[in-house]
Amino acid sequence: MQFGSARSLAVVIAAVAVLLASCNMSRTTSAPAGIGREVFDGQFAFVVTHVETSPTFDHTRAQGVYLVVSMAVRNVGKDPQFFVWGAQQLKDSTGRMYSARFMDPPRIGDVGDSIDPGLQVSVRLAFDVPDARSTEIVLHDSPSSGGVAVKLKRPEPASPPQGGSSSG
C-alpha cells in the first residue's frame, strides 16, 4: 500500500514540475521590438524605419495629427501575399487602437497590394490620432493574424558622464 502512495506522490510531483516549467516558459515572452528591428508575422517581415508627425498627409488635413510610420515589408513566404494596410494598428498610451487611414504609395504593384515571395517594398502608413502619444504599432500579415508589436519611442540619448571636470 505504501508503494502505491509513493507512486501517487511521484506522479503529483512530476505534474507540478511540468506545470511550473510551462509557467516559466510563458514568462519568457519578449518585449516588443523597437524601430530598426526586424519582426515577423506570418509571411511578412517588417522593419519600422522612421516615425514622424504631420498635420496633413497627401493633401488631406488630419482631424487630430497624422502619425506617419515608414517601414519595409518583405514577403518571407513561398506564395504572393497581399499587404492589407488597413489591418495595421497603432496603439496609444491608454490602450486605444487606430487603423491606418492612408498608405504611400497608394498601391504596391500593378495588380494590387500583393508582394511576391522574396521581394520587399517600402511604405508609409498614416494614422489620424488625437495626439502623438502612440506607443507602438501592431503589424499584421493579414487581418486575422495575431500581429507583432513594435515600440515607436526611440531610446533616450545617453546622458553625459557625471564626475569631476578638470579646470585649468
Looking up residue 146, the CATH number of its domain turns out to be: 2.60.40.1240
Is residue 97 a contact partner of residue 30, using CB atoms and an 8 Å limit? no
Is residue 147 a contact partner of residue 139, using CB atoms and an 8 Å limit? yes
Looking at residue 44, its amino acid is F
Q: Is the dihedral of CA 107, 143, 132, 39 positive or negative?
A: negative
Residue span of the structural domain in which 138 resides? 38-151
Is 46 inside any structural domain? yes
Over residues 157-168, the pLDDT tens digits come to 444 555 554 444
Over residues 55-84, the pLDDT tens digits come to 999 889 999 999 999 999 999 999 999 999
User: Count of domains in the chain?
Assistant: 1
Is 69 inside any structural domain? yes
Measure the CA–CA gap between 12 and 18, rounded to whole angstroms. 10
Sheet containing strand 60-75, edge to edge, reads 38-41, 44-57, 60-75, 120-129, 102-104
User: 0.85 cut: is pTM over it?
Assistant: no
Is 104 inside any structural domain? yes
